[in-house]
Structure 1
């Protein structure tokens, strides 16, 4: 017993020493005493490390012991320091600019630069390095920062000065607009299985938000032939060591250096054509293994990138095993400007604790992303201990200042004060813009439509008002589900008819329920291919009434839910009393070219007779879709399922039931479709398609509103959906028998126009459309469309073919949001 106390004390002291940690910190500069930002710092022969911040400051938390700390930055000589760590130590490092020696190679006039031989070997080894790691796990720290560098005081009537002041920026409208940090556990298994768990998240200025930082978003792999960077670049970017890189790049040998006993070659990469989707800058290649040692590349506006003017990517690698090197850090820096606004910033990711032989369950990759509920609640002590990249003084100040603002913004008095200002009601304002009355604290919202936009014209009702109001309330904060109820009231000033309807959207567990009832005047084509606003313009200014309408008094209910994974199902039931209508107004502002209105019967344009007899219908509809995807992201608000790389298959069935509730209809329609949007076609852009077919298994009794309709177009302004036609008549090709339709669209994403000087600056995308429809009456109807797209605006020229020489052509303008 006498020995027990000293022994226990010894164990306690030993455990305390073992569990204690110390910090190696300092600043990294170059020979001119300028900071070397984002230098990689890691412990030799381990995958534990960190990165310096934008001012060259670093901090590395370690247990007591002896370490060899290595400091590495692209373009500088690597340095090492042996550290006996028994207390906190400050170690400042001066990195020398790397000098690259030239081999004793004589390049004859007109001869090939030595870089080409090295790059060929790297290209040959590319696929091996791409596949050398079958699976791995690691931890990833990401910091993202975006700054407003300049901004006008006002922009299009918007008070920028006031908005930036409320965001915590300075009086010159400059400062940090986004600052966030996150830590993730990242798992990968070939070929493309990813699982990421966000374990901590911090967003400056918000106590509730989760970081937008995602390890999967910032990952790049230049062993892949092309880099698909989403909305940043319309075209995929070609890697400097892609299989076909020699077609896109010139190379220049800068020289070699030796690090850790291995030869590193520095090679300058230069696009052969300045406007190809290629990088500029430097790559560093290890001889013998011919793998990437590091890279420092950039793209500019010449590559037609979006949102920014210049984007630089730097990546450094370190050996995780004798056979495999993995990224130690990846950094994106960007600058840009538009209309007086200038922005800049960076995202940096730091990787540590790689495991190249993890035990992974294939099922866990169904969940691509997990954001746990408490990951955004870590306190300052946690971040002080876990943050691998030190904050700069500016970043510390931003966190402190915006923490006060965040607390204020979430308080009831502040939210009520916002509502008091924004809820001011003005009848004059309501004439041209919607009104919204908000109770932000209770998550309740009342909406009133603007009056003037609610007034339209058609030849059935004349000028008409269709006015709406709605109410919504958050009823499930964990899944962000709202209860919505609303009503619409209408009146035709020419036909003297009132209309009105009510509706409700009700979340109920896994289901979304819908209820509606009322009397409405609706389009004969249930796709509503022509908007009432466009029809108003054509009617009043061109005296052309393309929209054809009928009256429906109805009761309906619907339900939808996800069955499992990518399997969705929905259904509805509807009773309706339907009446054909005739024109009641012949009014227009102008009558160019002696245009005359046609009747409301598209099959009898010169005779205004009812299109069908008054009838009642009772029908049920079922639809199910499956997209072959069971992958999803999990958030505190619930799951979000991800689209599959495979097409989506859909199956629909509609049954008209006779005699039930006085119904006059008796038919069965079965349809099937398969579709996929934005299929990656490499340098040729993206492909989308839709194929559909259907048949009335029974058509004993049905009326025109029960026909299978199609998304036609007859005017300048068109729909841009993948299952839309450019020139098809809105109504006359509907069918009550069978049909098959097909659509394919190729977006070349600037592949051709980017090669033309001046035009390339417009960032235009070339569009090719082919549309097909066959019914027993129509036979083989085909459309060919070519055009260009800028942002969400599209200009197309289409030509249709049917029955040999029967052709039609027109220009179409489309807008999508």
Structure 2
């Protein structure tokens, strides 16, 4: 009985499905868009005026949608073809139509705009730029029914990138087409709020891979000053970054449309190239075809605009194509979107600005006029802030509320047949058919990768933990870390020879908002036959004020300079391999207590008390790998400063302030982010000759520094520091004012904040000084203008640094040019001067990447 009932119900379901399918097919409007040769026109737009809906044709020119019986005005358009408008009558049956578009010929207009093509194009775009805020803010609310489809395919991954850890995953994705579709209702509310209800979602991409919000393109506007971080051709500042070439006019449905070629003045990593089609007198966009290229990914964006309500032009179809060609990886992606609008309400204030205030077409409109009108419109139309903006940068609240229908992921084929506006291609159908097996295969690979990671990741196996070090959990919120065998051999230098030892640390997070850390290290010096050690305790507190207290004590072979220009890591390798030892050392025994806290937002105070004893050191009986002896451990100094045995009791107090310093709260702690104002600092330090301590001196210094973004490509930074010793009764070289400098080819630090053509100790002073550093960093200065170097990964810089020591009559300055990647490496050429006299020329290399391997 149950079996019979099952077959009856199954039969009823099939009958209902067939009837529903037939009813759906009866409402279908499909066809093909071709040129006069019968070739399909890919990605053309079919706009149905009565339903305010746009449909995109596929790569073969085919389209399909559901349409009830009735009479409709249909507008067919595609870039490069004439826009056709016609009427169709549809009964209860399905209809299939083929639409033929003529290629459009854009004719040059002689009368209205005179002059060169770039003058004409610029004149048209000035008016479009001036009117952009009107179209940006013209809509108060609407509801859109949106269909989106995206595909992606990786065609090639070079063997060199298929390392063992990702080989299976690389083979899995190569050659496979992945499809994702979405059907949503999007409700927009001025100024930028979206409520998206996902009605249906289907994908052959494994659930563990996030395809991203590929509906985001619908939530941006070409009239925005920036689109995905790039300057829009309709930005108020667009004329500073683009050239606009007039390429003719065409008549489309009774409107004159100007074809404008968009040309970046410089590389297009932060700019678009392509075409804009601007409607005469209205100065809105009819079509946009824009291309951008970033790090081997070329993206072509085509957007079609239609008048969905009187005077309101909104995008009805999008087509985005991506070609990937980077590091030998080849791939492609395609994205379609179409929308139909309802419930459109406009902002009356925006519609009042109809362009009547613009100068006439035959009059000259200045560049500043376009920018001024656009900025004035922006000021008038943009929503006014209701309160003073806070300095706290809270996590960006999404302007989109997304609600997923409970049945979104289980919609059947009949539902998709009804809402799908771009027919599935054969390979897309195959992708859906194989999605279950693809997802199963992905999970199996991910499971094996997880096991492999656990068994062969750094510091995971017992041997690796012993060699590389490891962080062990001893108890809740208590961890112990040791450096491992790789840290047994420490620094090598010509004073200590080889250092053998270990470092450990203990971290405790049990105190509320006050994590504590204890660090300790001990190393044996093979040449000095002493134990060099260091221990420190650090306690953080008052997290919203960045409070910290630290205690440190130890004995070490320390750099004579408090502002080293060469790291101990680099000195160790240059000494061991080449016998070059730019770092000069002294014996330092010390104890110190430091406290720092924010007194107010941007106002930082710090105080340090220390007691130290110093002794000079000499090189031991040790040579480099190839038998070279190191340079004597006695630096040259223009003041005649020497390292002598002494003791010091010193206090150091500093105060710095940055006005309107924006910050974020990260895990309960305050982290400063940015400010458009400079940082001003004042520092006072003094050594006291009491309680048997010998050093006696006092020093006062002040500084100001800032980094300013000058345009989308460039930044300018400056640092000015002046100071003087108020007293220097008993002072030695290690207590002089030092400046970060070196005169060797390679360093780990950037060129911006150090001298690269002066010995590290030569200009250290116990008098007065003025230290000036100016840096201009840009994507385009000199070599980047060559096409084969025009990549966003490289930047160029011009550096100027000057140090004036009035007491000694010394004026060292250097200037140079560098190119490279800040976080990886840079190459530079520098020239130095003593006063106005040329003193040297050098090639320098900066390798910040080395810091990550220490």
Same fold, TM exceeding 0.5?
yes
| Deviation of 1:715 (Å) | 0.4
| Deviation of 1:164 (Å) | 3.7
1:256 corresponds in structure 2 to 250
Out of 772, 779, 785, the residue aligned to residue 802 of structure 2 is: 772
Counterpart check, 1:789 vs 2:826: no
1:148 corresponds in structure 2 to 154
Out of 675, 687, 708, the residue aligned to residue 715 of structure 2 is: 687
Q: Is the 8 A contact 1:631 1:641 kept in 2?
A: yes
Once residues 228 and 705 of structure 1 are traced to their aligned partners in structure 2, the CA distance between those partners, rounded to angstroms, is: 51
Question: Deviation string for 1:626-678 (max 9, x for gaps)?
Answer: 2645487x99999876534x34323243444748998766635342212205x
> What SS does structure 1 have at the residue aligned with 2:167?
helix
Task: Give the paired residue count.
Answer: 751
CA distance 1:576–1:631, shift in 2 (3 Å):
closer
CA distance 1:805–1:483, shift in 2 (3 Å):
same
Once residues 160 and 85 of structure 2 are traced to their aligned partners in structure 1, the CA distance between those partners, rounded to angstroms, is: 50
CA distance 1:657–1:589, shift in 2 (3 Å):
closer
CA distance 1:153–1:568, shift in 2 (3 Å):
farther
CA distance 1:378–1:105, shift in 2 (3 Å):
closer
Once residues 447 and 78 of structure 1 are traced to their aligned partners in structure 2, the CA distance between those partners, rounded to angstroms, is: 74
Q: Is the 8 A contact 1:150 1:342 kept in 2?
A: yes
Counterpart check, 1:556 vs 2:593: yes
- Within a 5 Å distance, the mapping from 1:286-297 to structure 2 comes to 286-297=279-290
Once residues 740 and 575 of structure 1 are traced to their aligned partners in structure 2, the CA distance between those partners, rounded to angstroms, is: 27
Out of 647, 670, 677, the residue aligned to residue 615 of structure 1 is: 647
Question: Deviation string for 1:272-299 (max 9, x for gaps)?
Answer: 9999998654331212234432221335
Question: Deviation string for 1:546-603 (max 9, x for gaps)?
Answer: 1023324334344456954xx26353534342423302424223789x9761224544
Once residues 178 and 815 of structure 1 are traced to their aligned partners in structure 2, the CA distance between those partners, rounded to angstroms, is: 43
Out of 709, 713, 717, the residue aligned to residue 738 of structure 2 is: 709
Once residues 507 and 434 of structure 2 are traced to their aligned partners in structure 1, the CA distance between those partners, rounded to angstroms, is: 35
> What SS does structure 1 have at the residue aligned with 2:289?
strand
1:233 corresponds in structure 2 to none
Once residues 138 and 588 of structure 1 are traced to their aligned partners in structure 2, the CA distance between those partners, rounded to angstroms, is: 78
Question: Deviation string for 1:490-540 (max 9, x for gaps)?
Answer: 232211222132454647542363635232433233333212232123323
Counterpart check, 1:455 vs 2:455: no
2:574 corresponds in structure 1 to 538
Q: Is the 8 A contact 2:133 2:223 kept in 1?
A: no
CA distance 1:484–1:324, shift in 2 (3 Å):
farther
Unaligned runs of 5+ in 1: 1-23, 190-194, 231-235, 300-304
- Within a 5 Å distance, the mapping from 1:216-255 to structure 2 comes to 221=222, 251-253=246-248
Q: Is the 8 A contact 1:448 1:468 kept in 2?
A: yes
Once residues 211 and 324 of structure 1 are traced to their aligned partners in structure 2, the CA distance between those partners, rounded to angstroms, is: 30
Counterpart check, 1:501 vs 2:535: yes
Q: Is the 8 A contact 1:554 1:576 kept in 2?
A: yes
> What SS does structure 1 have at the residue aligned with 2:130?
helix
2:839 corresponds in structure 1 to 807
Q: Is the 8 A contact 2:43 2:57 kept in 1?
A: yes
CA distance 1:789–1:312, shift in 2 (3 Å):
same
Once residues 52 and 691 of structure 1 are traced to their aligned partners in structure 2, the CA distance between those partners, rounded to angstroms, is: 58
Question: Deviation string for 1:466-500 (max 9, x for gaps)?
Answer: 644456799999x9x98765443323221122213
Q: Is the 8 A contact 2:637 2:763 kept in 1?
A: no
Single out whichever of 784-793 and 525-534 deviates more from structure 2.
Answer: 784-793
CA distance 1:473–1:320, shift in 2 (3 Å):
farther
> What SS does structure 2 have at the residue aligned with 1:536?
helix
Once residues 271 and 576 of structure 1 are traced to their aligned partners in structure 2, the CA distance between those partners, rounded to angstroms, is: 60
Q: Is the 8 A contact 1:460 1:582 kept in 2?
A: yes
- Within a 5 Å distance, the mapping from 1:8-23 to structure 2 comes to none
Counterpart check, 1:30 vs 2:33: yes
Q: CA RMSD for the aligned pairs?
A: 6.2
1:345 corresponds in structure 2 to 333
Once residues 68 and 631 of structure 1 are traced to their aligned partners in structure 2, the CA distance between those partners, rounded to angstroms, is: 54
CA distance 1:450–1:56, shift in 2 (3 Å):
farther
CA distance 1:272–1:374, shift in 2 (3 Å):
closer
1:285 corresponds in structure 2 to 278
Counterpart check, 1:361 vs 2:385: yes
> What SS does structure 2 have at the residue aligned with 1:30?
strand
TM-score (norm 2): 0.67
Once residues 627 and 347 of structure 1 are traced to their aligned partners in structure 2, the CA distance between those partners, rounded to angstroms, is: 45
Q: Is the 8 A contact 2:565 2:740 kept in 1?
A: yes
Q: Is the 8 A contact 1:672 1:692 kept in 2?
A: yes
TM-score (norm 1): 0.70
Counterpart check, 1:746 vs 2:784: no
Once residues 435 and 399 of structure 2 are traced to their aligned partners in structure 1, the CA distance between those partners, rounded to angstroms, is: 21
Single out whichever of 133-142 and 455-464 deviates more from structure 2.
Answer: 133-142
Q: Is the 8 A contact 2:262 2:276 kept in 1?
A: yes
Unaligned runs of 5+ in 2: 1-26, 348-380, 850-854
| Deviation of 1:712 (Å) | 0.9
- Within a 5 Å distance, the mapping from 1:195-234 to structure 2 comes to 221=222
Once residues 335 and 745 of structure 1 are traced to their aligned partners in structure 2, the CA distance between those partners, rounded to angstroms, is: 37
| Deviation of 1:614 (Å) | 3.0
Once residues 704 and 330 of structure 2 are traced to their aligned partners in structure 1, the CA distance between those partners, rounded to angstroms, is: 46
Once residues 505 and 181 of structure 2 are traced to their aligned partners in structure 1, the CA distance between those partners, rounded to angstroms, is: 37
> What SS does structure 2 have at the residue aligned with 1:529?
coil
- Within a 5 Å distance, the mapping from 1:445-594 to structure 2 comes to 448=483, 451=486, 455-465=490-500, 467-470=502-505, 486-498=519-531, 499-504=533-538, 506=540, 509-510=543-544, 511=546, 513=548, 515-519=550-554, 520-550=556-586, 551-560=588-597, 563-564=600-601, 567=602, 569=604, 571-589=606-624
> What SS does structure 1 have at the residue aligned with 2:798?
strand
Once residues 434 and 669 of structure 2 are traced to their aligned partners in structure 1, the CA distance between those partners, rounded to angstroms, is: 31
- Within a 5 Å distance, the mapping from 1:730-745 to structure 2 comes to 730-745=760-775
CA distance 1:527–1:122, shift in 2 (3 Å):
same
| Deviation of 1:118 (Å) | 5.2
Question: Deviation string for 1:97-129 (max 9, x for gaps)?
Answer: 46324559799xxx9999667524413414412
> What SS does structure 2 have at the residue aligned with 1:451?
helix
1:128 corresponds in structure 2 to 130
Counterpart check, 1:370 vs 2:363: no
Q: Is the 8 A contact 1:688 1:722 kept in 2?
A: no
> What SS does structure 2 have at the residue aligned with 1:538?
helix
Q: Is the 8 A contact 2:106 2:250 kept in 1?
A: yes
CA distance 1:540–1:144, shift in 2 (3 Å):
farther
CA distance 1:758–1:696, shift in 2 (3 Å):
closer
1:669 corresponds in structure 2 to 700
1:311 corresponds in structure 2 to 299
> What SS does structure 1 have at the residue aligned with 2:527?
coil
CA distance 1:442–1:81, shift in 2 (3 Å):
farther
| Deviation of 1:769 (Å) | 1.5
Counterpart check, 1:597 vs 2:631: yes
Once residues 376 and 462 of structure 1 are traced to their aligned partners in structure 2, the CA distance between those partners, rounded to angstroms, is: 64
Once residues 199 and 562 of structure 1 are traced to their aligned partners in structure 2, the CA distance between those partners, rounded to angstroms, is: 45
Once residues 595 and 45 of structure 2 are traced to their aligned partners in structure 1, the CA distance between those partners, rounded to angstroms, is: 58
1:15 corresponds in structure 2 to none
| Deviation of 1:686 (Å) | 1.7
